[in-house]
Amino acid sequence: MNKDISLESAAIIPEVTQLLERQIDMAEEFEGSLSSVDSRARASAENLLHYLAVRQLDMRPLQWKLIPLGLTSLGGMEASSRCSIQAVSRALHALSGQPVPEFPAPPVDFVTGPLQLQANANRLLGAASGKRAVRIMVTMASEAADDYQLVLSLLKAGMDVMRINCAHDDAKAWEMMVKNLRRAERETGRSCKVYTDLAGPKLRTGPIESLGRIRKVRPIKNRRGAAVAPVLVWFTSADENPPEGVSDVIPVNAEALEGAVPGCFLALEDARKKSREFRILSTSMHSVLAEASQTCYFETGGGLHLVDRNGEVVSHGEIGLLPEIVMPISLVEGDTLILVRDGLCGSHAVRDEDGHVLKPARIPCTLDAIFECVKADERIFFDDGKIGGCVESRTAEEVRIRITRTAVNGGKLRPEKGINLPDTNLQISALTEKDIADLEFVAKHADIVGLSFVRTPEDVIALQTRLLALEAGRIGMVLKIENCTAFQNLPWLLLAGQRWPTLGIMVARGDLAVEIGFDRLSEVQEEILWLCEAAHVPVIWATQILETLAKTGAPSRAEVTDAVASGSAECAMLNKGPYITEAVEFLSGVLERVESHHMKKHNLLRRLSISYMRAPAE
Rounded Cα gap, residues 378 and 299, in angstroms? 43
Q: Could you say which architecture CATH assigns to the domain 329-420?
A: Beta Barrel (2.40)
Determine the residue type at 158.
G
Range 13-33 average pLDDT: 95
pLDDT tops 90 at residue 492: yes
**Closest to 524 (Cα-Cα) out of 497, 559, 484, 475:** 484
DSSP string across 154-183: HHHHT--EEEEETTSS-HHHHHHHHHHHHH
Range 361-365 average pLDDT: 95
**Closest to 572 (Cα-Cα) out of 549, 597, 552:** 549
Question: Rounded to the nearest 10 degrees, how much is the dihedral formed by the CA atoms of 528, 538, 564, 134?
Answer: 180
Range 165-194 average pLDDT: 96
Rounded Cα gap, residues 337 and 405, in angstroms? 13
Q: What is the pLDDT of residue 142?
A: 96
Per residue in 84-119, pLDDT tens? 999 999 999 999 999 999 999 999 999 999 999 999
pLDDT tops 90 at residue 601: no
**Within 10 Å of residue 301's Cβ, how many Cβ atoms?**
11
Candidate CATH numbers 1.10.287, 2.40.33, 3.40.50, 3.90.1720; the one for domain 214-318: 2.40.33
Q: What is the pLDDT of residue 123?
A: 96
Confidence of residue 1 (pLDDT cuts 50, 70, 90): low
Domain with CATH 2.40.33.10 in the chain: 329-420
pLDDT tops 90 at residue 611: no
Per residue in 241-285, pLDDT tens? 999 999 999 999 999 999 999 999 999 999 999 999 999 999 999
Residues with Cβ within 8 Å of residue 115, at least 6 apart in sequence? none
Per residue in 30-53, pLDDT tens? 999 999 999 999 999 999 999 999
pLDDT tops 80 at residue 612: no
Q: Given CA atoms 62, 67, 70, 72 in this order, what sign does their dihedral have?
A: positive
Q: What percent of the chain has pLDDT over 70?
A: 97
Confidence of residue 603 (pLDDT cuts 50, 70, 90): low
pLDDT tops 80 at residue 595: no
Confidence of residue 486 (pLDDT cuts 50, 70, 90): very high
pLDDT tops 80 at residue 615: no
Lowest mean pLDDT among 53-67, 129-143, 393-407, 595-609: 595-609
Determine the residue type at 38.
D
Q: What is the pLDDT of residue 130?
A: 79
Contact between residue 242 and residue 286 where contact means Cβ atoms under 8 Å apart: no
CA 280, 283, 284 angle in degrees (round to 5)?
160
Per residue in 331-350, pLDDT tens? 999 999 999 998 889 999 99
CA 216, 230, 289 angle in degrees (round to 5)?
80
Q: What is the pLDDT of residue 610?
A: 79
Average pLDDT, the chain: 92
**Closest to 51 (Cα-Cα) out of 493, 531, 461, 593:** 531
Between 262 and 543, name the one with better pLDDT.
Answer: 262
Range 384-413 average pLDDT: 94
pLDDT tops 70 at residue 605: no
Confidence of residue 596 (pLDDT cuts 50, 70, 90): low
Angle between helices 81-96 and 3-29 (to 10 degrees): 150
Per residue in 306-327, pLDDT tens? 999 989 999 999 999 999 889 9
- Measure Cα distances from 485 to 241, 383, 406, 416, 491 in Å: 52, 20, 25, 23, 12
DSSP string across 420-488: E-TT------S--HHHHHHHHHHHHH-SEEEETT--SHHHHHHHHHHHHHTT-TTSEEEEEE-SHHHHH
Q: What is the pLDDT of residue 617?
A: 59
Lowest mean pLDDT among 383-392, 446-455, 507-516, 609-618: 609-618
Q: What is the pLDDT of residue 400?
A: 97
Q: What percent of the chain has pLDDT over 90?
A: 80
Between 509 and 353, name the one with better pLDDT.
Answer: 509
Residues with Cβ within 8 Å of residue 100, at least 6 apart in sequence? 90, 93, 94
Confidence of residue 223 (pLDDT cuts 50, 70, 90): confident
Range 171-196 average pLDDT: 97
